[in-house]
Each structure stands twice: as structure tokens, then as C-alpha cells.
Structure 1
Amino acid sequence: MTPRQLKAFTSVAQTLSFARACERLHMSQPALSLAIRSLEQSLGGPLLTRTTRQVRLTPEGAAFLPQALQLLADWDNVRERIKQRFTLQTGHVTVAAMPSFAGNVLPRILRDYRQRHPNVEVAVHDVVQEQVVEMVATGRVEIGFGFEPEGESVLAFEPLFIDPFVAIVPAGSPLLAAPSVSWAQLLNHNFIALQRPSSTRRLIEESLAAKGMELRLALECHQLATVIQFVAAGLGVSVAPSLCQQQVAALGARSLKLSRPSIRKPVGLITRADQQLSTAAEAIREVARDSVDHAEGSRRPRPGV
């Protein structure tokens, strides 16, 4: 059955007139008759009886009429709901973001998104980088916000900005006497790091190894917030993405520019390379680009950087 056939039948059934049904539907009488005949053939019997003077419903036609009207109503409802999703009058999107991004950049993106599309529901998973990558790769979320994933051919990455790592030191540290600190200076203090398989830990170790330096640990733990709290308590020093500077200050530690070697890592959008985003998710991508572009001090990476 097609909507055209159902509309032809219901119009004749409600008006009991082929002529009036033709006027209502703006169809020719041969086209109307063909639509009803095709419907009757598909169902297996007549729905209408027609004489030169009148049109009547057969018993089967009378039984089918309310169901046909419901089918048309359902058809219109489904079509309208899909149109609303395409026009972002309604919808739902799920994203994942590493905590440093979720706590510092994502609120601005979601604020702008809600202003543009207030009727779209957004679910956010604030999880560590490795889980962001896993959730996008397995299709649990459409978009992830985090560092560029390594060795994931199924994923696509679009950088939004380059984030330098900063040193984290206690509030009373003598290192705060200078505006920046080198790795050589930092490694003279007890170092606190995230446990493996943290991508941040791996990046730090690889960057230091490339300069012939070794990371010797005093403490390690799973959560970056815990690392910062340990530093604030005077147990040692650490490093973190500059995205975390607001969190560092809130937890009572201090951050410093870090050099020799400088560690920088792209932060951006992670999606599946083989899947098209929903309209709602595509809109989040557009808002993220705009929001980062207009943020004070943000820097979009140049091609080839």
C-alpha cells in the first residue's frame, strides 16, 4: 500500500463521491480509479461498490477505513518527526569528552549550541581519553572531544587547536619565582604522574626519551584531579595540558609554562571515518569550530602543523 492509494480510498470513502474526491485530491478520475483498483488488488478484494448513482463501502471497506486513516496519520507523524530532526527542531546527540575538555571548553560549545538549537537533547560522557576513543570507535557516541587518537584507522580526527602542556607545582614552590620552568628543573623534584596506559603518560615519556631524559616517579595514580590534589598538598610536581589550568588553580596548585622540551598536542573532534553524522551531531561540529575560532586566545592549527 502507498500513501497515494490510501488517500484515494479514504477520500472516496468519506465523500462517497469520486467527483468530490478528485476535487479534494486534485487528481483526474482515471488516476483516482486506478489508485483504488491497485489498492483493492493488493488487499485481495473490493473496498467500494459503485453504480451510476452512488458509491458505497463494502463491509471490508468499512472495516478498513479507520485503519487506513490511522495509517495516513502515522505516515504524516513519522514524516514530520524526521523533518523536525533534519531542521533541528528536535533530536538527540551523544558525545564524549576527556575531562579537561569537558570542564573548560565544552561548556562554551554547549552554551552556543543550546542557543542555536534549544530543542535538541545532548548527552555528555566525560571520560578519560582512552574511553573517548573507544566510545567513538564502537559507535556508542557520534563525536568525541580529545587528543588525536593513535593507530585507529577507523577514526577521523579534525584538530580544533594545539594545546601545550604546563608544569603543575605547589602554591609555595620556589619554581614560581620564574615565569617558566624547564624539564631538567622539574625533574629535580618528586614527580607525580598518571598511571599507564594513560596517553598523557605515554606522550610525556616519549617526549623525554627523545631528548635523552628519563621520567622517574615518586607517585602515580589514575585520575588527573588526584594528581593535581597531590601536587597542591606538596607531595611533588607534575605536568598537564594547559586546558586544565583553571582546574589546577581551583584545586590549590599553580601552573607554569614548560619548556625544553615543549610538549604540544592537537585537541579536536574524533568521529568514525566510515559513518555520516546525524544532523544534530553535524551541528555540534559546526558550533565547536565557530566557538573555538571566536574564543579569546584560541589558535586553530595551520595546515601542515
Structure 2
Amino acid sequence: MNLNLGMTHLRCIVAIADHESFTAAASALGMVQSSLSRSVAEAERRLDVTLFERTTRRVVVTPDGVAVTQYARKMVQDFDEGLAQIGRFVTGDRGTVSVACLPSLAATFLPAYVVQFRRDYPDVLLEIRDGLRQEALTDLLTGTVDMALVSAPTTEPGLVHRTLTTDSFHCAFAAGHPFDGRERIEWAELAGEPFIAFGSQSSIAGPVARALDDADVRTGPVMHAQNVGAVAGLVAAGLGVTAVPQLVLPMMEFAGLRHAPLSPTVERTISLVRVEGRHETASVKNFVRCLTG
């Protein structure tokens, strides 16, 4: 017995069972009636059973036809659902997008884009991995994530970047500090000030060090801390001032710090980094479009 039935056979069987008419079933399927009849006859031959009894007035589904139709209906529904899911993946309506980014970007820059993307593509799983800049780039290069959001362009071979925005630096200090109430602070005014600096692995440390060098500023005693919370707490305790990008300031609000823009303006560049030539799914491309507008 050859049970090699295709979807066309199964769709014809279900349609005839539903409509109890070859003419109505053919119309529902958009087929000519002769093609429908040939498909059903072929299915009956391969199954070696009679599925339908034809009379001059109507089509009667046989007991074998009832049983076969039950299975055929489920197979057609599963097949159509599978095709729909494939279609949603191809268009980017389903899938997974993974992003590595700096903690400050995950907390302040990225959420608005995530909200927009989730509204447009609610069935796409979005994974955010926050970490230091080099960790993000390593995850990107090893294929752990689809893209990375970091500060400053990268010159690593095989990576391409696109600038998304810039982020200017502010001086943050404890309430009651002599800087309190100022609308702008010169980098030169940090000379001699006790300073809370981010650790060397932080993406903030490099731009701040270069800005101080450019201003020929030597701060007072320097204390290092690795994360935003620790820096904010030390500054709030009156142990020193610090320089942070504007996007980091919301993460320091818990400490009740004051802040003002630093002059001359120093900016860090926020870049979207991807692997050159790497295949990207439709979901990933949709998220890139969301970020880049």
C-alpha cells in the first residue's frame, strides 16, 4: 500500500467532507472540479478505501472517510501552522535577538528602543547582556550575541560600527560641595580636587583621563571603583568628585548627587557594532532598523 499522500490530497479530502459537495469543495479550494476529483480518486487508490459515496444529489462520507478526514484535518492544520511560523520567522515576527552593551546603555539608552521593538514584534525574544566594553566585543566576535552597543568606535578587524548618538561628560559631586549650584564647570577647575575614578576596564576611564590630560589637569588624591553604584556612593560620602557621561547620571540618582556639564564639552560616541559579512536573521535586521531609525 502506498500511503504517500501530499497536502493537496489531504486538503481535498477535508474540503469534500466539510462541504459534502465536489463542486463546493473545488470552489473553496480554488481548483477546477476535475482536478479535485482526480486527487481524491488517487488518495482512495493509494489508501485502498472508499472515502466518499457519490449520489446524484450529494456526497456521503463513508466511515473510513470520517476516520481519514479526522487525521487529515489535523495534518493540514499542523502544516498550515508550521508554514505560518516559518513565515513569521522569515519576516522577523518571530525569532531571537541578542545584544551586548554597556550597563549604562542597558539602563538608560536601550529601554526606549526595546519598548518600541516589543510593541512592533511582541513574539521576538530579546536578550540583553550587559558588561564591560571588551566583554561586549568578545561576545560579538565569538557569536554569542548578534550585535554590541559600546562607546567609541572600534578598530578591531572584521567589525563595523555605526554611530547612534553622542554622550557628553558631566561633573558629579555631593550636595553642599563648592560646585553646587553651578551651571557649568571647567575641566581645569578639577585641579587639586579629590577624584573618584572608574577602573581601567571601564569605558569611562579612558575618555576622562584624556580630557584631564588635554586640560593639563592634575587632580587631588584619586580613588578607583569599578561600577557606577560604588562611584556614586563614594562621591556622595564627600570623598571626591567624578566625571561621568550624561547617560550614566540616572544610575547615580539614588545617591542624591548634584551635577553640571563639563567645559569644554567632551563627548563619547555610542556605536552599534556588528560583524562584517555575518548573516543576520530578519529579526536582527528589524532591531537594527529600530535602533538606527
Task: Give TM-score, length-normalised by structure 2.
Answer: 0.70
Among residues 266, 272, 281, which one is paired with 1:263 in the alignment? 266
Counterpart-to-counterpart distance in 1, 2:286 and 2:128: 18
1:60 and 1:140, CA in 2 relative to 1: closer, same or farther beyond 3 A? Answer: farther
Among residues 114, 124, 128, which one is paired with 1:125 in the alignment? 128
Give yes or no for contact 2:101–2:150 (8 Å, CA) kept in 1.
yes
Q: What pairs up with 1:84-233 in 2 under 5 angstroms?
A: 93-113=97-117, 116-117=119-120, 119-120=122-123, 123=126, 125=128, 127-130=130-133, 131-176=135-180, 178-208=182-212, 218-233=222-237
Among residues 49, 71, 77, which one is paired with 1:67 in the alignment? 71
Aligned to 2:7: 3
Counterpart-to-counterpart distance in 2, 1:64 and 1:138: 50
1:62 and 1:162, CA in 2 relative to 1: closer, same or farther beyond 3 A? Answer: same
Opposite residue 101 of structure 1, the aligned amino acid is L
CA positional deviation for 1:70: 1.9
Number of residue equivalences:
284
Counterpart-to-counterpart distance in 2, 1:215 and 1:37: 91
Among residues 21, 25, 31, which one is paired with 2:29 in the alignment? 25
Opposite residue 67 of structure 1, the aligned amino acid is Y
Q: Which moved more, 1:94-103 or 1:190-199?
A: 94-103
Counterpart-to-counterpart distance in 2, 1:2 and 1:27: 16
Give yes or no for contact 1:148–1:157 (8 Å, CA) kept in 2.
no
Opposite residue 269 of structure 1, the aligned amino acid is L
Q: Which moved more, 1:98-107 or 1:233-242?
A: 98-107
For the residue of structure 1 that corresponds to 2:176, the secondary structure is coil
Among residues 272, 279, 282, which one is paired with 1:278 in the alignment? 282
Give yes or no for contact 1:48–1:56 (8 Å, CA) kept in 2.
no
Opposite residue 246 of structure 1, the aligned amino acid is P
For the residue of structure 2 that corresponds to 1:165, the secondary structure is strand
1:117 and 1:177, CA in 2 relative to 1: closer, same or farther beyond 3 A? Answer: closer
Counterpart-to-counterpart distance in 2, 1:174 and 1:105: 31
Unpaired runs of at least 5, structure 1: 291-305
Aligned to 2:258: 254
CA positional deviation for 1:266: 1.5
Counterpart-to-counterpart distance in 2, 1:15 and 1:58: 14
CA positional deviation for 1:267: 1.7
Once the two structures are superposed, residues 47-78 of structure 1 have per-residue CA deviations (whole angstroms, 9 ceiling, x without a partner) of 55599978999999887654332221112222
State the superposition RMSD in angstroms: 4.4
Task: Give TM-score, length-normalised by structure 1.
Answer: 0.68
Counterpart-to-counterpart distance in 1, 2:173 and 2:148: 30
Identity of aligned residues (%): 25
Once the two structures are superposed, residues 9-66 of structure 1 have per-residue CA deviations (whole angstroms, 9 ceiling, x without a partner) of 444577787666434433235533665688799xxx4455599978999999887654
CA positional deviation for 1:188: 1.6
Q: Which moved more, 1:96-105 or 1:65-74?
A: 96-105
Opposite residue 164 of structure 1, the aligned amino acid is S
Q: What pairs up with 1:227-246 in 2 under 5 angstroms?
A: 227-246=231-250
